[in-house]
């Protein structure tokens, strides 16, 4: 299987639909719309929507049914990156290979662009809610993105920088901050398939989210700013709590291998799972 080609096909399909969704933006303030489009269309791996579309295809869920959720998820992810880069949070000036939103549009507009993307995400979802399946999927999206998901993880991260730092703290940060949106990407398609393989996919999503974070920490340590499109070595230099600063590079790599194995075990009974197996292997081998 040429997985890279398959991934790129999903990504291209999604990017066309994402762009179409922004063509309908009409608002009161052009600058706000411009700031929203700037970050949304700045590139990125589109990992979460690609994952959601792949799981949908494995479960036989209709593309048109899942697409609004894939778009909404990327809007939410993009808003989180804009806010994460703000001076009051990570204070970063480079994202997806370009100056960060606040560097281009100012801090005020960057905050509002994030707010507007979050609201727009739910507007897209609400326009497509009808069945009980879609209501369940919407509930998962909002819960996993909010105080009991990504936002909660970010807050827990901010409040837990002091020593001694433990693996338990690190796990709690990332099962929420990074893990919940990735898990949402795989369980939302299951909602539309009558909860088929829900628990196995949830386990797969959690392990994949963890793997994504461990590799992010390893890449922060080993990769370059050019390759990543964002500043690297920042976490390492600041001695921030990461899998590399806590475990060291060798043990972090071993942990990644174990986590990959756990993700593969979780989906072993799902038919036509090959693409999901390859995706997990792609995460451990990714270069950006
Ligand atoms: C500000 C509410 C709020 C939340 C921020 C996810 C997050 C929460 C911040 C990002 C910080 C970070 C570096 C997390 C590590 C893993 C991660 C989520 C990286 C960014 O996602 P990618 O690699 O980015 O999928 P692209 O640009 O490819 O979409």
DSSP letter string, 176-210: HHTHHHHHHHHHHHHHTTTTTTHHHHHHHHHHHHH
Residue 24 pLDDT: 86
Cα(131) to ligand 1 centroid in Å equals: 31
Cα(178) to ligand 1 centroid in Å equals: 7
Residue 162 pLDDT: 67
Whose CA is closest to atom 12 on ligand 1?
178
The CA-CA-CA angle for residues 168, 78, 264, to 5°, reads: 50
Residue 227 pLDDT: 87
The CA-CA-CA angle for residues 167, 171, 174, to 5°, reads: 140
pLDDT per residue as tens digits for the range 156-184: 999 987 666 889 999 999 999 999 999 99
Name the residue among 50, 43, 80 with its Cα closest to residue 66: 50
Whose CA is closest to atom 29 on ligand 1?
44
List domains and CATH numbers for the chain: 3-285 (1.10.600.10)
Residue 230 pLDDT: 87
Cα(229) to ligand 1 centroid in Å equals: 12
The secondary element (H helix, E strand) that includes residue 98 is strand 98-99
Cα(10) to ligand 1 centroid in Å equals: 20
Q: Assess contact for 105 and 34: CB atoms under 8 A.
A: yes
Q: Rounded to an integer, what distance in angstroms lies between the CA atom of residue 57 and that of residue 66?
A: 10
Give, in order, the Cα–Cα distances in Å from 175 to each of 109, 182, 196, 205: 30, 10, 23, 10
Residue 163 pLDDT: 67
261-268: list long-range contacts, CB under 8 Å, 24+ apart.
262/203, 262/207, 263/203, 263/204, 263/207, 263/208, 263/211, 266/200, 266/201, 266/203, 266/204, 266/207, 267/197, 267/200, 267/201, 267/204
Whose CA is closest to atom 4 on ligand 1?
80
Q: Assess contact for 37 and 25: CB atoms under 8 A.
A: yes
pLDDT per residue as tens digits for the range 180-202: 999 999 999 999 999 999 999 99
The CA-CA-CA angle for residues 33, 21, 195, to 5°, reads: 125
Residue 241 pLDDT: 86
Residue 208 pLDDT: 98
The CA-CA-CA angle for residues 136, 140, 146, to 5°, reads: 145
Other C-beta atoms within 10 Å of 154: how many? Answer: 18
Report residue 269 as tokens: 């009974």
Whose CA is closest to atom 24 on ligand 1?
44
| Residues in the chain where the model's pLDDT stays below 50 | none
């Amino acid at each position: 299987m040429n997985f890279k080609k398959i991934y790129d096909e999903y990504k291209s399909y999604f990017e066309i639909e994402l762009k179409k969704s922004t063509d309908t933006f009409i608002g009161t303030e052009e600058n706000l719309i411009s700031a929203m489009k700037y970050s949304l269309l700045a590139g990125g791996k589109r990992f979460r929507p690609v994952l959601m579309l792949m799981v949908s295809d494995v479960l036989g869920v209709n593309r048109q049914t899942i697409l609004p959720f894939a778009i909404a998820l990327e809007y939410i992810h993009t808003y989180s990156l804009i806010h994460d880069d703000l001076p009051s949070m990570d204070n970063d000036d480079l994202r997806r290979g370009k100056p960060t939103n606040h560097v281009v549009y100012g801090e005020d507009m960057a905050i509002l662009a994030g707010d507007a993307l979050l609201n727009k995400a739910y507007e897209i979802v609400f326009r497509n809610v009808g069945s009980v399946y879609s209501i369940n999927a919407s509930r998962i999206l909002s819960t996993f993105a909010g105080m009991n998901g990504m936002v909660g993880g970010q807050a827990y991260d901010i409040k837990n920088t002091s020593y001694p730092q433990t693996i338990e703290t690190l796990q709690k940060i990332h099962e929420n901050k990074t893990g919940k949106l990735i898990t949402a990407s795989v369980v939302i398609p299951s909602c539309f398939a009558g909860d088929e393989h829900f628990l196995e996919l949830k386990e797969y999503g959690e392990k994949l989210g963890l793997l994504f974070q461990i590799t992010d920490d390893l890449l922060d340590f080993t990769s370059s700013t050019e390759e990543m499109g964002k500043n690297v070595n920042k976490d390492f230099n600041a001695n921030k709590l990461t899998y590399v600063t806590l475990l060291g590079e060798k043990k972090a790599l071993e942990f990644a291998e174990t986590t990959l194995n756990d993700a593969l075990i979780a989906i072993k009974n799902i038919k036509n799972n090959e693409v999901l197996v390859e995706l997990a292997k792609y995460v451990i081998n990714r270069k950006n």
